[in-house]
Amino acid sequence: MMKWMKVTFGALGAVALLTTVACGSTTEPSGNTQGAKTGTDITVKDNTNTSVYQNFKLEKIDKLPNMRGIAWLSESSIVTDKENTSMKPVSVEGEERYPHNLYMYDLTKGTDTPLIESEVNLGAPQVSPDGQHLFYWQTEETTGWPFILNLKSGEAVAAGKEDGFVQEGAWLDNEHVVFSNMKGDLISAALDGTTKVLVETGNFNVRSIKVSGNMIYYITGEDGQLNTYDAKTGEVKQVLKSVEWVIPSNDGTRLAIVKRTADTKRALVLTDLEGNEKATLARGTQIFGTSWSGDDSKIAYTINSDKDNEKGLFVSNTESAEQFQISAEMDNVADSLAWSPQGNKILLSQSVMENEKYHFVTSIITISE
């Protein structure tokens, strides 16, 4: 298992696990030993691609220190995780640390409201499609136990009794989530916490679980095998190899795939549902955080590269494949990027280093066309 953990978390890079920070692991929050920032200043550089720049404008970047923004609840509120200083701290390597809990942050008022509080670390939240429930993990280093929170009542139920790898999982519909356990089984959990096994993959290395309609996408093994599971028919298919991330479009007609083209080279490509490539949007050492806008007209992502004009946060037009660089400084992200419901804002979180300590900074990027 440790061999796989080393390989996978090196590849994950931007998937910064909550407890990595909270528990004082020697692994950097970004998962990339080259990726730590030494401050929170962000440099916005003009993009000289005239055809793109005329149709795309960066309005502003608002920075929110000491919180990790992860998902949108509405156009004016986001789900965040941060330290809960009202709880009793624990001593880790001689330093007192508070548990990370989940909050709603109002962007208009600048206020925090706890969604759920605990004496232990909570993280990796995902909002249900109807905005009524929150899937999250009670974390312990890189693993944890899944829970479902009713956002109206504040009641949480355990999604079964098996642990799994933090960050993995997706909503299948408004009443069910799907995630993997430590054995590599794909598990479906209902709102009342009851579970059933969908697929016994036989490979504990299951990652990048995504849902599009009735189809569940997931990757297995060190060879990056992309698979699909049809929730209606129960059919399992193998699609492609050398895949690191899969991100289905919202309309279910296309896939954005980050594939490994060499040991230190990645490409972001658009494919049909069978994996046939239609366009290449980006290339780099690593590509993280890929996210479709709500209308599927744009994709946001970050690139690691040695060249300033080829790294950072980008947005590409999914029809023309034209690319716009927002900032060269935003090349290491903690989670997948998230588009606001209206599609004019991007939520992004980074781990940065200040005074020899890591903390999260959330950016709200406002754009216009």
Secondary structure (DSSP) of 305-328: -SSGGGSEEEEEETTT--EEEEET
pLDDT at site 83: 94
pLDDT at site 324: 93
pLDDT at site 220: 96
Please give the distance of CA 61 from its chain centroid, rounded to a whole number: 20
- Across 135-153, average pLDDT: 95
pLDDT at 76 over 90: yes
Amino acid at 285: T
Taking the CA atoms of 187, 150, 79 and 28 in sequence, report the sign of the dihedral they define.
negative
pLDDT at site 96: 87
CB within 8 Å of 258: residues ≥ 6 apart? 243, 244, 245, 246, 266, 267, 268, 287, 290
Q: Which two three-digit tokens encode residue 6?
A: 């080393």
Question: Are 190 and 175 contacting, i.e. CB atoms less than 8 angstroms apart?
Answer: yes
Split at pLDDT 50, 70, 90, the class of 95 is confident
pLDDT at 288 over 70: yes
Amino acid at 267: A
CB within 8 Å of 321: residues ≥ 6 apart? 270, 279, 280, 281
Question: Are 263 and 251 contacting, i.e. CB atoms less than 8 angstroms apart?
Answer: no
Domain ranges within the chain, ordered by starting residue: 242-332
- Across 293-297, average pLDDT: 96
- Across 9-29, average pLDDT: 32
Name the percent of the chain lying above pLDDT 90.
74
Split at pLDDT 50, 70, 90, the class of 355 is confident
- Across 265-279, average pLDDT: 96
- Compute the distance between CA of residue 327 and CA of residue 80 in angstroms, rounded to an integer: 23
Closest of 260, 173, 248, 195 to residue 218, by C-alpha = 248
Residue 214: how many other CB atoms lie within 10 Å: 13
- Across 227-248, average pLDDT: 97
Q: How far is CA 197 from CA 14, 47, 185, 206, 234, in A?
A: 29, 48, 7, 14, 11
- Across 173-183, average pLDDT: 96
Whole-prediction pTM: 0.84
Residue 348: how many other CB atoms lie within 10 Å: 26
